[in-house]
Structure 1
Amino acid sequence: MIATGLLLAAGQGSRLRSVTPFKPLCPVAGRALIDHALDSMAAAGLTRVVVTLGYGADAIAAHLAARSWPVEVLTVMADWHQPNGVSALAARALIGPEGAVMAMCDHLVLPRHYRRLAKAGAGDGLRLGIDRRLGHAWVDPLDVTCVATHGDAIVGIGKELEPHDCYDTGVFAISHRFFDALETLDSPSLTEGVRILAAEGSAKIVDCSDLDWLDVDDAPAFAHAEGWMTKLAA
């Protein structure tokens, strides 16, 4: 079972600027998004988490330093002007041979989501948590990353991809082969890295269709998140 998390929290988060200046610190039901992620990773059984910082790094680092965490938290810096694959690569030296459970800081998920990917492992390349509930009310069809599969293999991935049969939930189990793929790209994005491994047959899926998740990327998604987390806490 993978014991290390990789949390990508370097992006600008401009679509959520009306709610918060720094997306990882966006308060959802009284707790910052990054708190939800770190506490859930700990509850899933992960023991250390590498957090990639970029935009708003000083404020987010100060927030992380202000409390004790139930996991070991390490931070690395990435250029937030660059594609998100650069954020993943910035953490490579801190990821052990077993790989990591990689997640987007703005994707709100429950501990069992992380645990399922940690137990599945990365295999020869990566495994991606997917959701086959197409048309879910919480999903923005113009923003979600769509995935096409054949059996347990990923055969296509991208925004507005047609045809597709599931969604990318933003939680992966990754090996160093994924980092190798990103390093071959001039402008490394996570999606392009997945495509490289998919072409080799080493990008697989883990079905998470029974698990709720939410990409908190704009004000409507934030409203959904507030209602969901408040209900869970009641």
Structure 2
Amino acid sequence: MIDTAILLAAGEGSRLRSAAPFKPLCTVGGRSLVDHAITGLAQAGMARVVVVLGYGAEQIEASLGGRSWPLAVETVRVEDYRQPNGVSVLAAERHVAGAPALLAMCDHLVDPALYRRMAEAGEAVTGARLGIDRRLDSDWIDLDDVTRVQTADGRIVAIGKGLHPYDCFDTGVFAVGPALFASLRALAAPSLTEGMRALARDGDAWVTDCSDLDWIDVDDQWALDKAEAWLGTITVG
């Protein structure tokens, strides 16, 4: 099973600025998003997490360093947090040294069982394996913001926001291997979606169904309100 995670937490999070100056420190259910993510990864069996920081890096590092964690926590910074999120993924590459890693988003509240499922499913991954959700009528999905996915025979056919047709959603949890990093390095503006499209063309972008497990992307006040209400009905982190 994969035991190292990469946690992306570099973005500016401007749509949540009214709730917190730095998105990873935005609280949901009395705990910060980064706390939920790191604790959930530990519960899923991760031994180590590399947190990629950008906007507010000093303040978030101080928060992380101010407490003990149930797994090893390392941080790395991107030079420019305004660049596409693939730059954040590449910033963590040397920390995983070619081994498969779990890749997660700091602003997603995720059932630890989803992290674990992806860590188990992606143990031998070379490109990428994405956790997907086929609940197309979910009331916690923002259709204008979620990344949509079209699949066939266990592989990704197409991926992107506003995609039509589509048969599932991107949960923001991946198992990733060396080929994803290589595909990102080949891009002038490396976004994770474009990297996944390149892998899909090569037949090395796989999916694992996680439709029975809960997650929510906390991107704006609407989602934060949903998450606050929803958190009381599930066990996350």
Q: TM-score, length-normalised on structure 2?
A: 0.96
- Match status 1:126 vs 2:120: no
Q: AA paired with 1:6?
A: I
Contact 2:131/2:210, CA 8 A, preserved across alignment: yes
Give the SS at the match of 2:232.
helix
- Contact 2:5/2:102 (8 A) holds in 1: yes
Per-residue CA distance 1:113-153 (angstroms, 9 max, x = gap): 10000000152311000000113100000100000000200
| CA distance in structure 2 between the partners assigned to 1:69 and 1:116 by the alignment | 22
Contact 1:51 1:76 in 2 (8 A): yes
**Alpha-carbon offset, residue 231 of structure 1:** 3.6
Q: Which residue of 2 aligns with 1:88?
A: 89
The CA deviation at 1:220 is 1.0
C-alpha distance in 1 between matches for 2:138 and 2:105: 19
Distance 1:77 1:118 in 2: 24
> Shift in Å at residue 230 of structure 1?
3.0
Deviations 1:63-88 (A, max 9, x none): 00000000100000012010000000
Cα distance in structure 2, aligned partners of 1:68 and 1:205: 34
Q: Is the 8 A contact 1:135 1:141 kept in 2?
A: no
- Which residue of the partner structure matches residue 59 of structure 1? 59
Counting only pairs closer than 5 Å after superposition, residues 177-188 of structure 1 correspond to structure 2 as 177-188=179-190
Superposed counterparts of 1:106-125, under 5 Å:
106-121=107-122, 123-125=125-127
Deviation track 1:24-48 (CA, whole Å, cap 9, x = no partner) reads 0000111000000000000000000
C-alpha contact (below 8 Å) 1:146/1:159 kept by paired residues: yes
The equivalent residue for 2:168 is 166
> Are 1:205 and 2:212 counterparts?
no
How many angstroms apart in 2 are the aligned matches of 1:129 and 1:108?
A: 14
Contact 1:37 1:109 in 2 (8 A): yes
Moved over 6 A (4+): none
1:70 has 2:104 as partner: no
Paired amino acid for 2:92 = A
Alignment correspondent of 1:102 = 103
Q: What is the aligned partner in structure 2 of residue 42 from structure 1?
A: 42
The 8 Å contact of residues 100 and 174 in structure 1, kept in 2 or not, is answered as yes
Q: Is the contact made by 1:108 and 1:216 (CA closer than 8 Å) also made in structure 2?
A: yes
Q: How far apart in 2 are the matches of 1:48 and 1:200?
A: 30
SS in 1 for 2:36: helix
CA distance in 1, matches of 2:87, 2:76: 11
Aligned length: 233
Question: Residue 111 of structure 1: CA displacement?
Answer: 0.7
Which structure 2 segments of 5+ residues have no match?
none
In the alignment, which residue of structure 2 is the partner of 1:146? 148
Unaligned runs of at least 5 residues, structure 1: none
Q: Write the distance in 2 (CA, Å) between the matches of 1:202 and 1:232.
A: 33
Moved more, 118-127 or 30-39: 118-127
Distance in 1 (CA, whole Å) between partners of 2:224 and 2:13 is 12
